[in-house]
Structure 1
Amino acid sequence: MFTDQRPAWDRLLEGNRRWIEDRSTAAGDRGASRRAQLSQSQAPFALVVGCADSRVPAEILFDQGLGDLFVVRTAGHVVDSATLGSVEYAVGMLGVSLIVVLGHEGCGAVAAATGVVDNAAVPAGYVRDIAERITPDVLRARYDGAKTAGEIGALHSLYTLDLLRERSTVVDRAIGSGALQAVAAQYCLSTGAVTEVRNSARLLTAV
């Protein structure tokens, strides 16, 4: 099986460019032959922690095949014990070289949390639990200067990455040693583009 030696994030960005330009090449790596190769083991090169939104399928928007990505998806990419266990499995057992926290514009979970902060509009049922988990990130984003929904959502991706490092010594040590690259990113529903998000001295930037 051919192994791409490029840095993992570069591979994902190139795949995203193919997806945007409607020249995807991953179909050949999703068929019977690839399935047979992976029947006994897996060796994904990257982990994507993303939103469960039906419009944000990581394998498709990064144009990757079977076995390339280990994907953990929850509404608003909230972190709970199951998420942490899945992440630690990918990092500690599968040895992925990259973790991407992938948010997106128009996230309903982030909007619900913003509604809690702005209007005390608390959702019913277990949606409330999701909103309440994101609410501290909305407050922190506002403190860091975020004004728009897009800025809040982007910072939520960054803060989720912070949280993974805070909660998991496996993740923190892997990043600290250089064995694991970590990226926070946002997906644009209208263009299909993924951009890396960085926060420096409370100035939000997308690169």
Structure 2
Amino acid sequence: MAYLEHRPVGPAEALDELLAGNERFVTGTRIHPHQDAEHRSVVAAAQRPFAVVFGCSDSRLAAEIIFDRGLGDLFVVRTAGHIVGAEVTASIEYGVVVLGAPLVVVLGHDTCGAIQATHAALSGTRLPGRDLGAIVERVAPSIEDARSRQITDDEGVAGVHIQHTIDTITAPGTELAEAVAAGRCDVVGMFYRLADGRITVTVSGAAPADH
């Protein structure tokens, strides 16, 4: 099956595929792979994504578009501010352990509403809605860490939050941590700029950053 034959088999190859796709997206040379009727029929029988992408729910952060990929290529998990809960951890583990994806991406972006809302809440602003506090509670440790290190720029704060997310999903004892230790997959952090569409790798590999 060509779909499986040409699938990236390791983390480095998977990362190269994603970055190449993003470059096509940025330069307006997308090839829209795996989006035709024939491929749709192929993946109806089985999926074998080469990457798990865990990103923010922001409507401008559609992974299949910004990485120029198609059906069956990416296993996508999204929450506001890429906050982590049991359902998220289980979903990522499914993509790695069951589907065999060799790469996990934590994808953040600039002007993130969840980060902005957390900044506001920590400054005493009352948030609309009953349940937004759950987002603030999960993002607050990242904001407080950034403040303690005098990191104030948008990309820098987002980078701290991306690292916190990676630390959470690869905590000792998790299936993902075991998969990384065994060399079956790797975890990287990426930052996306809304205006130009460009991806920057902020965390290479799952080793915790020096805080």
One of 161, 165, 171 as aligned partner of 1:156: 161
Aligned residue number for residue 75 of structure 1 = 80
Identity value in percent: 35
The residue correspondences of 1:58-73 to structure 2 (distance < 5 A) are 58-73=63-78
Q: Is the 8 A contact 1:84 1:168 kept in 2?
A: no
Q: Is the 8 A contact 2:155 2:191 kept in 1?
A: no
Give, in whole Å, the separation in 2 of the partners of 1:167 and 1:122: 36
Unpaired segments ≥5 residues, structure 1: 203-207
Give, in whole Å, the separation in 1 of the partners of 2:181 and 2:148: 27
Q: What amino acid is the match of 1:120?
A: G
Q: What amino acid is the match of 1:184?
A: G
Cα offset for 1:11? 0.6
Q: What amino acid is the match of 2:21?
A: G
Cα offset for 1:87? 0.8
One of 27, 35, 50 as aligned partner of 1:30: 35
1:178 aligns with 2:183: yes
Cα offset for 1:168? 5.9
SS at the partner of 1:166?
coil
The residue correspondences of 1:87-166 to structure 2 (distance < 5 A) are 87-117=92-122, 119-123=123-127, 124-166=129-171
TM-score (norm. length: structure 2): 0.89
Cα offset for 1:85? 1.2
1:16 aligns with 2:19: no
Larger deviation: 161-170 or 126-135? 161-170
Cα offset for 1:150? 2.4
Q: How many aligned positions are there?
A: 200
Cα offset for 1:125? 1.2
Unpaired segments ≥5 residues, structure 2: none
SS at the partner of 1:29?
coil
Larger deviation: 14-23 or 170-179? 170-179
Aligned residue number for residue 205 of structure 1 = none
Give, in whole Å, the separation in 1 of the partners of 2:155 and 2:113: 12
CA deviation profile, 1:30-73 (whole Å, cap 9, x unmatched): 12111100111100000000011000000100000110000001
Q: Is the 8 A contact 1:116 1:135 kept in 2?
A: no
One of 192, 196, 202 as aligned partner of 1:191: 196
Q: Is the 8 A contact 2:191 2:201 kept in 1?
A: yes
Give, in whole Å, the separation in 2 of the partners of 1:174 and 1:83: 16
Q: Is the 8 A contact 2:83 2:138 kept in 1?
A: yes
Give, in whole Å, the separation in 1 of the partners of 2:141 and 2:125: 15
CA deviation profile, 1:13-45 (whole Å, cap 9, x unmatched): 00000000000012x511211110011110000
Give, in whole Å, the separation in 2 of the partners of 1:181 and 1:15: 19
The alpha-carbon distance between structure 1 residues 167 and 84, as it changes in their structure 2 partners (threshold 3 A), is farther
SS at the partner of 1:47?
strand
SS at the partner of 2:53?
strand
Aligned CA-pair RMSD: 1.7
Aligned residue number for residue 44 of structure 1 = 49
SS at the partner of 2:170?
helix
The alpha-carbon distance between structure 1 residues 65 and 168, as it changes in their structure 2 partners (threshold 3 A), is farther
Cα offset for 1:144? 3.3
Q: What amino acid is the match of 2:17?
A: R
Give, in whole Å, the separation in 1 of the partners of 2:159 and 2:97: 27
